[in-house]
Amino acid sequence: MAWFRPVACDGPVLVVDDDADARARVCGVLSRDGWRTAEAEDGCRGLDAVGAERPCLILLDLMMPEMDGFAFLRALRAQPEWAHLPVIVLTAKDVSGEDRKRLAGQADRIIRKGQLSLDDLAAAVRQVLVPVGLSRS
């Protein structure tokens, strides 16, 4: 099994989703793939988690109570030290053209829940974080 590691950041992959089962499944597959993970159940707690330990990537749901994914991204990108953190939106929401415009320049990738298997999601994380050819066995 190959272990892939982020090159520029030693922080965890932060999973921000109000669905505890979804967080557990995503964190489980990422952990098996060699990633360290952290979790937050809404955008407010997600921002707290980013402040506590800078993640190497954020997997973000859009539909959450307290602070949804759109508000989370606005707050995240407003902080210069967090402006370039990679974000993959992972949502059950039917992302409209208007939503895509709102997310343009804010998210590195948008994935609809159920569109990819969890193993494919782990591959998508590697694509965003690991330059081609860099892996550790």
Task: Tell me what pLDDT residue 126 has.
Answer: 81
Q: How far is CA 26 from CA 17, 98, 104, 119, in A?
A: 10, 27, 24, 9
DSSP per residue, 34-65 = T--EEEESSHHHHHHHHHHS--SEEEE-S--S
pLDDT tens digit sequence for 24-48: 999 999 998 888 999 999 999 999 9
Take residue 64 and report the two structure tokens written for it.
Answer: 């959450």
**What digits encode the pLDDT tens for the residues 114-126?**
777 777 888 888 8
Domains of the chain, CATH where assigned:
13-128 (3.40.50.2300)
Q: Which of 14, 34, 10 is nearest to 136 (CA)?
A: 34
What is the structure's pLDDT at 28?
93
Sequence-distant (6+) residues with CB within 8 A of 101 are none
Which residues of the chain are modeled with pLDDT < 50? 1-7, 132-137
